[in-house]
């Protein structure tokens, strides 16, 4: 007779436990099985019926094939209610005052944890059975050294200060923690083992302000911090603001040395360098390094290169500051890229945001600020979502992907957006973007107002997304500049383009207006009043509505190509002073043909050449000749103006 105690897990299933005990057991004292039948009735004697006995086969089988994850330790928890009472506490200690909760350092020093115990027991009749104790399977066993989750919640109104937090314990060593007992008669158990620090989830929630006073090291996981504000906690302040000029000149005065000494830090051989003019400096002193930031008085922080910086290292970072700020204006939240070489960012604050990433790419999913938003990265700043969802919402915007001057640097490195995936923004005011590689930004709200846009090695593509409504403009003020010394510059605008600043390209300058043609019947106004410097050509294209172009300045002798498409268009060429000095190279103007001959007879395209400011004492002759590329050509001081489809000149 056969019986079985069997445990089977299938390949592809997952088991997660600090300790996994698997057992297949039977009664240790067994006898053979006997069955008998007895008949009663006339002529039969009791006990005279047939009987039969059989040998018992009691199998114990463990067949383990799961993915098994063994965390290293219990998870740290600290939960404090609105009255300041501790609701739950595990591994996390803290001190508090009437206004502040200071969380002590949390350092994971445990080894790889978790144990798998497999048991098939013996019985007194196993020798009479065939292969009764079997352990088999091919599980994938992963020993995890890092915490699974760290939870800190404070509902009281106190400020919450976080110090050092090291959750991964990357230096842990694994022990042999798979135990087999019961002396199996067959062992076909072939586990594969590996170790990992895990992907720790850190969740910090506070009803008030959160201060960062140590290094939060979570390189493999996700870190979420939420409060009314999130700022780095300085080492000390009190250096007079007037010392900014000395630091900017490379001088460390006695007043600065005294301020450090008062705070308990002796400077012996200090040197200073400027990080941001008038805003931020680095002081190095032997093996120590400090960051000084202007925030009223000058404030001192440990450098991000120090042993315990005010920084967060993580793969994914989620920051929420309800009514406050995330980072200070001149010293933001310092972030180090996670183990993948990048950090995925989500954030929101009603006030300003400044986040600075070191050592990798900043992948922006959704960041929203009710005020100024600053994102700075040592690598690229990229769109983290594949759809057209808005990545950045702000009142004003500053983006910086640190240019790379090293030999071999390319336009795809240290970029803002990419040529195949723009960074989508909704910015009410001015925006600035500086990158080593390409700069590709799309405004999905209304007008785009570039202030300082530059790319050292790449192209610049700026788009004000077309819509059925009016108002998708690009406006470059007198102080605006868009510079790409090694690449082209392209503007795609839904409606109007107004340029009064500087556009300088190492290749072509392209302007495309009414790019999608969604607001039918509403033409575009293009005004070129500022400096235009291109190395190859300037190309201007509009759609089929009634468009007006004012071309008042050209600062490079490159071909200018203007194509306006169908509709009643007006192209005006001449400087603010009413001079044709703007014609410094060949112009080719295609005013477009209408869809039918009848429409073409009714709609008049006009080209106006304004030389009205020229005095009678310095006349310039303009002649007309046949054109190989158009209807005709005008010659102005040996420069040709070819035109096609213009009914009025």
Tell me which DSSP letter residue 374 carries.
E
Start-to-end CA span in the chain (Å): 109
- Classify burial at 638, counting beta carbons within 10 Å of its beta carbon; exposed 0-12, middle 13-18, buried 19 or more: exposed
pLDDT for residue 43 is more than 50: no
pLDDT band at 54 (very low <50, low <70, confident <90, very high): low
What mean pLDDT do residues 228-254 have? 94
Greatest CA separation for the chain = 154
Lowest pLDDT segment from 382-386, 416-420, 465-469, 602-606: 465-469
Looking up tokens 């900014």, which residue turns up?
A: 244
Strands of the sheet with 236-239, listed across from one edge: 236-239, 297-302, 288-295, 280-285, 270-276
3-state secondary structure of 248: helix
Could you tell me the CA-to-CA distances from 521 to 431, 517, 540 in Å, in that order? 30, 9, 20
> 32 vs 147, which has greater pLDDT?
147
Lowest pLDDT segment from 245-249, 444-448, 601-605: 601-605
Q: pTM for the whole thing?
A: 0.88
Name the E strands within 437-584: 439-443, 449-455, 460-464, 474-476, 481-484, 489-493, 497-499, 502-505, 509-513, 525-528, 531-533, 538-541, 548-551, 560-563, 570-573
Q: SS3 string of 552-576?
A: CCCCCCCCEEEECCCCCCEEEECCC
> 602 vs 66, which has greater pLDDT?
66
Query: For the chain, what is the total number of helices (H) and then of strands (E)?
Result: 3, 61
Distance, CA of 129 to CA of 440 (rounded, Å): 75
Nearest partner of 167 among 316, 305, 314, judged by Cα: 314
Pairing relationship of beta strands 216-227 and 280-285 according to DSSP bridges: unpaired
Looking up tokens 């093996």, which residue turns up?
A: 287
Where b means 16+ CB within 10 Å and e means fewer, 50-70 reads eeeeeebebbbbbbbbbebbb
Confidence at residue 520, expressed as pLDDT on a 0 to 100 scale: 61
Lowest pLDDT segment from 11-25, 100-114, 309-323, 511-525: 511-525
Could you tell me the CA-to-CA distances from 73 to 146, 415, 457 in Å, in that order? 8, 41, 49
Distance, CA of 339 to CA of 168 (rounded, Å): 12
Confidence at residue 312, expressed as pLDDT on a 0 to 100 scale: 98
Could you tell me the CA-to-CA distances from 477 to 430, 499, 501, 503 in Å, in that order? 10, 7, 6, 11
Please answer whether residues 368 and 347 qualify as being in contact, where contact means their C-beta atoms are separated by less than 8 angstroms: yes
Confidence at residue 566, expressed as pLDDT on a 0 to 100 scale: 77
3-state class percentages of the chain: helix first, strand second, coil last, to nearest 5: 5, 50, 45
Which helix (H) or strand (E) element contains residue 140?
A: strand 140-144
Looking up tokens 């795609």, which residue turns up?
A: 492
pLDDT band at 207 (very low <50, low <70, confident <90, very high): very high
pLDDT for residue 608 is more than 70: yes
Distance, CA of 294 to CA of 247 (rounded, Å): 11
pLDDT band at 64 (very low <50, low <70, confident <90, very high): very high
Distance, CA of 583 to CA of 633 (rounded, Å): 13
| C-alpha 213 chain-centroid distance | 24
Lowest pLDDT segment from 55-59, 172-176, 445-449, 478-482: 172-176
Which helix (H) or strand (E) element contains residue 356?
A: strand 353-358
Confidence at residue 32, expressed as pLDDT on a 0 to 100 scale: 62
Which helix (H) or strand (E) element contains residue 229?
A: strand 229-232
> 517 vs 607, which has greater pLDDT?
607
3-state secondary structure of 433: strand
What mean pLDDT do residues 318-330 have? 94
pLDDT for residue 34 is more than 70: no
Confidence at residue 44, expressed as pLDDT on a 0 to 100 scale: 44
- Classify burial at 427, counting beta carbons within 10 Å of its beta carbon; exposed 0-12, middle 13-18, buried 19 or more: buried
pLDDT for residue 62 is more than 50: yes
Distance, CA of 618 to CA of 35 (rounded, Å): 131
What mean pLDDT do residues 224-242 have? 94
Lowest pLDDT segment from 122-136, 477-491, 585-599: 585-599
- Classify burial at 564, counting beta carbons within 10 Å of its beta carbon; exposed 0-12, middle 13-18, buried 19 or more: buried
Distance, CA of 344 to CA of 76 (rounded, Å): 24
pLDDT for residue 172 is more than 70: no
Distance, CA of 313 to CA of 219 (rounded, Å): 5
pLDDT band at 51 (very low <50, low <70, confident <90, very high): low
Q: Which of 14-23, 195-204, 503-512 has the highest mean pLDDT?
A: 503-512
Mean pLDDT of the chain, nearest integer: 90
What mean pLDDT do residues 252-274 have? 95
Distance, CA of 100 to CA of 86 (rounded, Å): 14
The angle formed by the CA atoms of residues 477, 479 and 480, to the nearest 5 degrees, is 65
Distance, CA of 490 to CA of 505 (rounded, Å): 10
What mean pLDDT do residues 22-40 have? 72
pLDDT digits (tens, 9 = 90+) for 346-390: 999 999 999 999 989 999 999 999 999 999 999 999 999 877 889
What mean pLDDT do residues 194-214 have? 94
Confidence at residue 174, expressed as pLDDT on a 0 to 100 scale: 62
Which helix (H) or strand (E) element contains residue 368?
A: strand 361-369
* Count of other CB atoms within 10 angstroms of residue 362: 27
pLDDT digits (tens, 9 = 90+) for 425-458: 999 999 999 999 999 999 998 899 999 999 999 9
Tell me which DSSP letter residue 254 carries.
H
pLDDT digits (tens, 9 = 90+) for 526-569: 999 999 999 999 999 998 788 999 999 999 899 999 999 877 88
pLDDT for residue 594 is more than 80: no
Contacts of 416 (CB under 8 A, 6+ apart): 380, 381, 399, 401, 423, 433, 435, 437, 438, 439, 440, 441
Confidence at residue 374, expressed as pLDDT on a 0 to 100 scale: 98
Distance, CA of 150 to CA of 140 (rounded, Å): 26
Distance, CA of 378 to CA of 336 (rounded, Å): 10
Report, in angstroms and rounded to the nearest whole number, the Rg of the chain calculated over CA atoms.
37
Looking up tokens 């925006």, which residue turns up?
A: 431
Confidence at residue 391, expressed as pLDDT on a 0 to 100 scale: 96
Distance, CA of 38 to CA of 34 (rounded, Å): 13
Backbone angles phi, psi at 191, to 5 degrees: -75, 150
């Amino acid at each position: 007779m056969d019986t079985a105690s069997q445990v089977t897990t299938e390949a592809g299933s997952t088991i997660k436990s600090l300790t996994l005990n698997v057992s297949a057991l039977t009664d240790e004292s067994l006898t053979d099985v006997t069955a008998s039948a007895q008949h009663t009735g006339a002529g039969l004697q009791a006990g005279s019926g047939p009987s039969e006995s059989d040998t018992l086969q009691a199998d114990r089988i463990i067949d383990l094939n799961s993915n098994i994850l063994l965390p290293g330790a219990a998870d740290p928890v600290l939960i404090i209610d609105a009255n300041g009472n501790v609701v739950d506490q595990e591994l996390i200690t803290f001190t508090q005052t009437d206004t502040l909760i200071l969380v002590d350092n949390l350092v994971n020093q445990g080894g790889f944890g978790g144990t798998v115990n497999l048991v098939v027991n013996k019985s007194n009749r196993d020798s009479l059975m065939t292969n009764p104790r079997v352990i088999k399977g091919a599980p994938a066993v992963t020993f995890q050294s890092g915490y699974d989750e760290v939870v800190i919640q404070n509902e009281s109104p106190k400020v919450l200060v976080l110090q050092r937090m090291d959750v991964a314990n990357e230096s842990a060593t694994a022990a042999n923690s798979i135990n087999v007992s019961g002396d199996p008669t067959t062992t076909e158990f072939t586990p594969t083992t590996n170790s990992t620090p895990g992907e720790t989830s850190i969740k910090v929630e506070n009803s008030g302000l959160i201060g960062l006073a140590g290094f939060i090291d979570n390189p493999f996981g996700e870190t979420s911090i939420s409060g009314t504000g999130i700022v780095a906690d300085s080492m000390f302040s009190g250096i007079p603001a007037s010392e900014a000029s000395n630091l900017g000149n490379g001088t460390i005065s006695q007043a600065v040395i005294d301020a450090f000494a008062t705070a308990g830090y002796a400077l012996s051989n200090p040197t200073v360098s400027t990080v941001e003019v008038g805003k931020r400096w680095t002081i190095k002193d032997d093996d120590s390094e400090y960051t000084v930031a202007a925030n009223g008085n000058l404030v001192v922080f440990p450098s991000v290169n120090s042993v315990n910086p005010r920084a967060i290292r993580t793969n994914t970072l989620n920051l929420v500051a309800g009514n406050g700020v995330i980072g200070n204006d001149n010293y933001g939240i310092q972030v180090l890229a996670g183990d993948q070489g990048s950090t995925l960012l989500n954030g929101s604050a009603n006030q300003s945001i400044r986040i600075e990433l070191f050592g990798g790419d900043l992948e922006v999913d959704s960041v929203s600020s009710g005020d100024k938003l600053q994102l700075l990265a040592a690598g690229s700043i990229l769109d983290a979502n594949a759809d057209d969802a808005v990545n950045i919402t702000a009142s004003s915007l500053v983006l910086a992907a640190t240019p790379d001057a090293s030999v071999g640097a390319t336009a795809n490195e240290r970029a803002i957006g990419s040529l195949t995936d723009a960074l989508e923004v909704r910015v009410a005011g001015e925006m600035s973007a500086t990158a080593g590689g390409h700069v590709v930004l799309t405004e999905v709200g209304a007008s785009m107002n570039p202030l300082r846009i530059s790319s050292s090695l790449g192209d610049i593509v700026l788009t004000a997304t077309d819509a059925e409504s009016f108002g998708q403009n690009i406006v470059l003020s007198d102080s605006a500049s868009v510079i790409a010394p090694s690449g082209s510059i392209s503007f795609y605008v839904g409606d109007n383009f107004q340029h009064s600043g500087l556009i300088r390209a190492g290749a072509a300058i392209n302007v495309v207006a009414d790019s999608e043609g969604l607001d039918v019947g509403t033409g575009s106004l293009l005004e070129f009043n500022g400096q235009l410097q291109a190395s190859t050509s300037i190309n201007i294209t509009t759609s089929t509505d009634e468009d007006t172009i004012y071309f008042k300045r050209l600062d490079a002798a490159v071909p200018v190509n203007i194509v306006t498409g169908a509709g009643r268009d007006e192209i005006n060429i001449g400087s603010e002073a009413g001079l044709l000095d703007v014609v410094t190279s060949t112009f080719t103007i295609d005013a477009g043909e209408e869809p039918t001959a009848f429409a073409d007879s009714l709609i008049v395209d006009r080209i106006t050449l304004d030389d009205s400011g020229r005095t009678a004492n310095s006349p310039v002759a303009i002649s007309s000749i046949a054109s190989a590329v158009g209807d005709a050509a005008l010659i102005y001081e040996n420069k040709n103006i070819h035109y096609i489809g213009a009914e009025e000149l």
